[in-house]
Amino acid sequence: MKFRMLWIMWILSMLMPGAARSQDSTAAQTSPSPARRELEVNDYFRIKEVGDAQISPEGQWVAYTVKTHDSVKDETGERIWLAPTSGGEAISVTAEGGCAFHPRWSPDQKYLAFLREPGACGSETYAGGQVWLLNRAGGEPRQITQTAKNVDDFAWSPSSNRLVLVLRDPAPEEPEETAAGPKKTDAEGAEAKPRPWVIDRLHFKEDEIGYLDHRRTHLFVFALESRKLFQITSGDYDDSEPVWSPDGHSIAFVSNRSENPDSNYNSNIWVVPADNTNRGKDLLHVAPGAGTDEFPVWSRDGKWIAFARQIVPSLLERATYHLAIAPATGGEAKLLSQALDRNVSAPHFSFDSKWIYFLAEDDGSQNLLRIPVGGGEITRPIGGQKKVDSFSMSDNGTIAAAISELAMPDEVHILPVNGGLRRVTRTNDSLMSQIRLGDAEYVHFKSKDGTPVAAYMYKPWNFTPGKKYPAILWLHGGPVIEFYGEFDFRAALLAANGYVVVMPNPRGSSGYGQEFSAATHANWGNQDVEDDLAAMDYAIALGVADPNRLGVGGHSYGAISTNWIITKTNRFKAAISNAGNFVNYSNFGHDEYSKEWEIEVGLPWKTGALWERLSPFAGVANIKTPTLVMGGDADWNCPIVNGEQLYQSLKWLGVPTLLVVYPGESHEFVRPSFIKDYYERYLFWFGHYVKGEGPAIPPTMPPGR
């Protein structure tokens, strides 16, 4: 059916009080520009995060999410918006201050389903909710699932009368208490006594979850009319990423069903009947392989399943994800993108099943590419120095994508079949029009051994050629990720405070091929650190960075690299180490990497010398750099014990240092007030030690515990 403007006008008057008109309209371009100013910490909470662009089947509308962070209320909200693909005003269809996400259109075009959490949003990674339904003919959204555990994911059946849900097994009926949740009570209302964790798994802990038991994620089919739910997969395995076959008879999904899933990453594509006959006992293993498979998708004619596959599992995340295709009835997989040698994700078949569209990391960007189903020349429908975060495709081939560029946070764009890329939302234009941003450029240079390396370089808005500026070397995490051609708030904030910011993609980064990524496999703090230092040397040689006013910092693997750098050189006046490793021995049996340590480094009683060599602690006595150490006390990725050991070492060495521990935070911080806190601490620490200005600690900061 046609989705007309009449529906928009009706829904504005009839939806819940939280529904609102957007300032996204194209008219916003013509409003007078206010006087521009520098970016400030509080702008982080004014910028709205746009994502998950989902185009309607007929191609006339796009649903997307807008996430906001409130440092005063100390909560994160997420709303779902709709915008016409032809351009014009967008509206929100969920209330402000709530948490609604994962919008998905029904194939028959009648409904928009989404997940909603009660209240504000929780963990960004593991947030789940219940499924809600919005009827496109009008009316308020209504909740349609009430499962014991939150729905992690869902997908529509082709007939639009069923959903497949991803649900974690419910907890035992007896009361329990967890560190992350409220105390539970027994039947009489008395406070329940906590129970011990009883662990018998090899892989027994994950960041943002904590200790693991044998409660797994499985697939369930939910009938919309009867509200009946039945389970279609089972066993001591986790199942995810479900997608329906075009005929609605089967569901493809991802699962590691090897003999001991805790010891390897052998997740493959499986197909299960979408009925209630055998609860997942009759499974088809599609194109078995030894590596990791992800992102399955059916061709529209039902003949093929495309997915991303790693073929060198021993390299872990450093192995390239290639685009693969296999017969939906089972058989050998064909790799389509080996010559590209870039990580691919999110494949989609074109409406005529002749092409596969996919995302690929490449040379400091993430573009939308396509290739013929049988293999051949790869083209770039959306290319350039930008990041395509997500995309979807309508039945007629129109593409909606969330795209960010160096001076533009994510916005929704439309790519018609026979037209050029155009932007349809302007969520942050009003704010960005008030802010002066300096130039950001993508630069190339050579490392110590002659290896070509690239970096992004940000300059202050009032940059003057010939003048040398204090400079910050900021290092990315991962380690297998890259800095993209996207808006980076941290870099823009540091540049707004007078720094040249250098953000390299050293060896170990993605986007430059498997050999480049594999250079850091069991070889941390070596060639990657040489590349990092070469990036700063390049900025100095250009005459833009003052060699006497340098700082360095990073998060996760970026913090590990920072820890390495300050053991190898004293050229930096200040360092910030946020959630990194320092003494690797301390992490064995304590962090979430039970498999990675053994595969990459070996067991410590067998390869102790390598464990020591890969620990920055080996050079601790060389550190002279004032270092701000930060982390969350619930981080099981890079546990805070690493930060504590770095801090304690520096105190004994007499090096200026400060340890800031954020309660309840995992590896990626989510509490807005803590995000504000660490950005302000960045500016004061670098300001004091790099620029020689003001105190090292914000004087207005409330005392810690």
Encode pLDDT of 128-164 as tens digits: 799 999 998 888 899 999 999 999 999 999 999 999 9
Q: Is the pLDDT of residue 612 over 70?
A: yes
* Res 704: pLDDT: 63
Give dist(CA 584, CA 620) in Å, integer: 13
The amino acid that residue 382 corresponds to is I
Give dist(CA 587, CA 637) in Å, integer: 9
CB 583 within 8 A of CB 645: yes
Note if the bond before 479 is cis, omega within 30 degrees: yes
Q: ∠475-315-528 over CA atoms, to 5°?
A: 25
509 CB burial (10 A radius; 0-12, 13-18, 19+): buried
Q: Which residue has the tokens 């909560």?
A: 75
* Res 121: pLDDT: 85
Q: How far is CA 607 from the centre of its chain?
A: 33
CB 628 within 8 A of CB 660: yes
* Res 137: pLDDT: 84
DSSP letter string, 566-587: HHH----SEEEEES--S-GGGG
- Number of CB atoms found within 10 A of residue 11's CB: 20
* Res 30: pLDDT: 42
Q: Which residues pair with 415 in a beta bridge?
A: 399
CATH match of 436-691 with 3.40.50.1820: yes
* Res 9: pLDDT: 40
Q: ∠639-503-405 over CA atoms, to 5°?
A: 110
Q: Please, what is the average pLDDT of the chain?
A: 91
In the numeric block, which tokens belong to residue 438? 């300096």
Q: What percent of the chain has pLDDT over 70?
A: 90
* Res 533: pLDDT: 98
Domain edges within the chain:
1-25+44-173+386-435, 436-691
Q: Residue 701 — pLDDT band, cuts 50, 70, 90?
A: low
pLDDT per residue over 579-610, tens digit each? 999 999 999 999 999 999 999 999 999 999 99
Give dist(CA 533, CA 698) in Å, integer: 29
Q: Which has the minimum average pLDDT: 2-6, 186-190, 268-272? A: 2-6
CB 19 within 8 A of CB 418: no
Closest CA to 60 of 6, 13, 3: 3
The amino acid that residue 457 corresponds to is M
Q: Residue 562 — pLDDT band, cuts 50, 70, 90?
A: very high
Q: What is the dihedral of CA 595, 600, 605, 609, to 10 degrees?
A: -150
Residue 573 φ then ψ, to 5°: -80, -20
Give dist(CA 65, CA 415) in Å, integer: 19
Polymer length of the chain: 705
* Res 650: pLDDT: 98
* Res 8: pLDDT: 45
Q: Is the pLDDT of residue 344 over 90?
A: yes
Give dist(CA 275, CA 220) in Å, integer: 10
The residue ranking higher by pLDDT, 56 or 279, is 56
The residue ranking higher by pLDDT, 342 or 351, is 342
Residue 387 φ then ψ, to 5°: -125, 120
- Mean per-residue pLDDT for 10-34? 42
Q: Is the pLDDT of residue 124 over 50?
A: no
CB 480 within 8 A of CB 508: yes
Q: Which residue has the tokens 């996400």?
A: 101
Residue 12's H or E segment, with its range, is helix 5-14
* Res 703: pLDDT: 62
* Res 395: pLDDT: 94
* Res 139: pLDDT: 82
Q: Which residue has the tokens 């995340």?
A: 317
The counts of H helices and E strands in the chain are 10, 40
Q: Residue 692 — pLDDT band, cuts 50, 70, 90?
A: very high
Residue 684 φ then ψ, to 5°: -75, -40
Q: Is the pLDDT of residue 66 over 70?
A: yes
* Res 361: pLDDT: 97
- DSSP SS3 for 75: strand
Q: Is the pLDDT of residue 49 over 90?
A: yes
* Res 483: pLDDT: 97
What are the CA-CA distances from residue 22 to residues 68, 121, 234, 407 (Å)?
Answer: 14, 21, 44, 21
Give dist(CA 105, CA 83) in Å, integer: 14
Give dist(CA 642, CA 16) in Å, integer: 48
- Mean per-residue pLDDT for 218-243? 96
In the numeric block, which tokens belong to residue 376? 């051949």
Q: Is the pLDDT of residue 355 over 80?
A: yes
* Res 180: pLDDT: 34
